Structure 1
C-alpha cells in the first residue's frame, strides 16, 4: 500500500511571527485514529527571530525538535538551558509532567523546523530531556539514524518508533534502510524539495507518503530533505498524550 497525504490535508495556524502546518497522519488517511501507530502528530513550523513561545506544559508525548534552520534557546522545568540548532537536536520525553519555553534567537535567522509528537508505550513515565549534536546538519544520499528504540539511535524514544533523515541530492536515488521490524509502517515526509517514488508518484514539499508492504525507490527531482518515520502498528501504544493522542477518541 502506498498513500499520499497532501498539503491540503493539513491544518494551518498563524499567530504573529509563529506559523505551523499540522499533520495528523491517520486523519489524512481517513482513519478513525488521528495518528498512525506511534506517530501522533507532525508540526512544520516557520518562526521569525525574537519570537518567544512561553512556558507551557507537555504530558505523555515523546517530542523531537528537528531544526533545519534557525537557533533556539530552550528552558525547561528539569533545569535545562540549552541551545538547539540544525545539528544539535532535542528529544523531550515529557512523561507524567513537563514544561518548557523556546526563544528563537536573532543570530540564527528564520526558524524552520519540525516538532514531532510520538506516542509512548504507556502514560505516566518519568520525564527527561536528551540532546545530541551530529557532526553535520545533513547526511547526503543515505539514511541517518536520528531517534528511536534501541542503542543504534542517539536519541531514545520510549515506544516502537524509529526516525531517520537524509538529504537526497538532485538526480540521486535511494531505497528504504534496513528496518528493525518486519511488517513495518513507514511514512516519508518531504521537508522540502520534489521527490519521485517508483517512477509513477510525485510528492512535494510538506507532503508525505505512507508505505506498507511495498518496495520503493526514491528519486530527487531537486534537492530534498527527507524524514522517515517507522512504526509498528501492532505494538503497545498510549493514545492519550497531550498532543500525540488520538483526537477522535471519545473519552
Structure 2
C-alpha cells in the first residue's frame, strides 16, 4: 500500500523566520489520521531564514534526526556539544532522560532541513548528540544508511530505536530496491526530483507512506535525492 501525501496539502505555519511544513501532526497542526507512521512520529520540512533559528529548548525521550538539504545548521546543547552540519550531512540527537539545545542558521542564505523524530525503544538513558558527513556520491544509485538502531549498520549514526534513516541519489531512469518486509512501514520523501513507486508519482517534498511491501522499488523520473525511514 502506498499513500501519497502531496506537499501542497501538508499542514504547517509560516513564522517569518521559520516556514514549516508538517507531514504529521505537530505544534498547532493536528490531524488525527496523521499522528505517526509506525514509530515515526514527526517529519518536518523546515526553511530557516538567515541569522535565525530555534533558541534553547528542552526535549526528552525522542530520537531526533536532522537531514540538511541546503545551507547549514549549527547545534549547541546542555552537554557542551557544538557543531555545524552542512547540506547533505546528518546530525542525530538522542534526547534520553533530557537535553536542552539550540539550532541556528548562521549562514547568509536560508537553510532547509528535514527534521525527523522517531520514538525510542526505551525511555530514559543518557542523552547524546553526533554529526557526520555523508557524501552524495557515495549514495549514487543505492540507499545508504544514515542513522540506525541496529549495530550491523556500520558507520551509520546510532539511534536508540527500531528504525533506519536512509538516503539515496538517483539519476533519471535509475531504479533502486530496498528490502523492507511486510511487517514494517516506510516513509519516503524526495528532497529533490520526482520518483515512481509502482504507479504512484512522488514529487519533490511529497511524502509516500508505504506498508505491506516486501521489496520497495523506486524509479527516478528526474534526477532525485531521496530520504527514507524504515520504521517498526
- Do the aligned partners of 2:18 and 2:53 also contact (CA within 8 Å) in 1? no
Tell me if the contact between 1:5 and 1:29 (Cα under 8 Å) persists in the aligned partners: no
What is the alpha-carbon distance in structure 2 between the residues aligned to residue 5 and residue 104 of structure 1? 28
Counterparts of 1:127-206 in structure 2 under 5 Å?
127-136=127-136, 139-151=139-151, 152-153=153-154, 154-176=156-178, 178-179=179-180, 183-198=183-198, 200-206=199-205
Quickly say closer, same or farther: Cα 1:164–1:29, change in 2 above 3 A.
farther
Native 8 Å contact 2:187 2:210 kept in 1: yes
Are the structure 2 counterparts of residues 217 and 87 from structure 1 closer, same or farther at C-alpha, using a change threshold of 3 Å? closer
Q: Which residue matches 2:111?
A: 111
Distance apart, 1:227 and its partner CA: 1.0
Structure number with higher strand proportion: 2
Match status 1:72 vs 2:73: yes
The corresponding residue for 1:81 is 82
- Residue of structure 1 in register with 2:3 after alignment: 3
Structure 2 Cα separation of the partners of residues 55 and 29 of structure 1: 27
Partners of 2:99 and 2:30 in 1: how far apart? Answer: 29
The answer to whether residue 102 in structure 2 is matched with residue 98 in structure 1 is no
Residue 35 (structure 1) aligned with residue 36 (structure 2)? yes
Paired with 2:54 and 2:174, the residues of 1 have a C-alpha distance of: 38
Q: Distance in 2 between matches of 1:220 and 1:29?
A: 30
Compute the displacement of 1:62 (Å). Answer: 0.4
8 Å CA contact 2:144–2:168 kept in 1: the answer is: yes
Structure 2, gaps ≥5 residues long: none
Figure out how many residues of one structure are paired with residues of the other and give that number: 226
The corresponding residue for 1:44 is 45
Question: In 1, are the aligned partners of 2:182 and 2:212 still within 8 Å (CA)?
Answer: no
Cα deviation, residue 222, structure 1: 1.2
Verify the 8 A CA contact 1:164 1:229 in the aligned structure 2. yes
Compared CA separation, residues 28 and 206, structure 1 to 2 (3 A): farther
Structure 2 Cα separation of the partners of residues 170 and 60 of structure 1 = 40
CA contact (8 A) 1:44 1:113 kept: yes
Aligned-partner Cα distance in 1 for 2:197–2:89: 30
Q: Separation in 2 of the partners of 1:52 and 1:186?
A: 29
- 5+ residue gaps, structure 1: 233-251
Q: 1:53 to 1:137 in 2, by over 3 A?
A: farther
TM-superposed CA distance for 1:22, in Å, is: 0.9
How many angstroms apart in 1 are the aligned matches of 2:175 and 2:224? 11
8 A contact 1:73–1:104 mirrored in 2: yes
> Would the alpha carbon gap of residues 40 and 216 (structure 1) be closer, same or farther in structure 2, given more than 3 Å must change?
same
1:191-222 C-alpha deviation (Å, 9 max, x unpaired): 22211122x21111221222223344322121
In the superposition, the TM-score normalised over structure 1's length comes to 0.81
- Distance verdict in 2 for CA 1:160–1:203, change over 3 Å: same
